[in-house]
Amino acid sequence: MATPSITPEHQQFYLAALREGATHKRAAKDSGVSYSTWNRYRKSNPWFEEFIEEAIEEGSDELEEEATRRAVKGIDKPIVYKGEITGYTKEYSDTLLIFLLKARRPEKFRERQEVQHTGPDGLAERMAEGRRRLVRERTREREYLE
């Protein structure tokens, strides 16, 4: 069975969809060419990958801008009363805001886990008690010298 040829027009539709944040499957559908045909085309035309990567990067920027807009500026959500829109309320996405903060400042907003090693036979507690005893002894020495 012959593979349908992918024209420059198909390429334009495929890349345009990726630039808008679409998945490869969605881009294939928008271009009018099957997903499997696009996969074969990409394998046999490695030069096209550079254009795909660029389009995906642009699409990722678009998605990030939309997430930022929804998180910071919010969206107008209609207020419906008895089937009629009576007004709008601003709705913000805390979840999107959290993800944006984690992506931009992972050192500050990443999930933290605290691991405490106790060691065999309560070693951590014995060491803590030793430190407390040392502090008490040094305090007594200073008081004695004064």
Q: Per-residue pLDDT tens for 40-69?
A: 999 999 999 999 999 999 999 999 999 999
Tell me the pTM.
0.62
Query: Domain residue spans in the chain?
Result: 8-59
| Residue 35, CA distances (Å) to 22, 39, 45, 49, 76 in order | 13, 6, 15, 15, 36
Residue 85 bridge partners (DSSP): 80
pLDDT tens sequence across 85-134 = 999 999 999 999 999 998 888 888 887 766 666 666 777 788 888 889 98
pLDDT (mean) for 60-82: 94
Question: So what's the pLDDT on residue 2?
Answer: 45
CA dihedral angle for residue 35, residue 36, residue 37, residue 38, rounded to 10 degrees: 50
Residue 81 bridge partners (DSSP): 84
Q: Do 34 and 47 contact (CB within 8 A), yes or no?
A: no
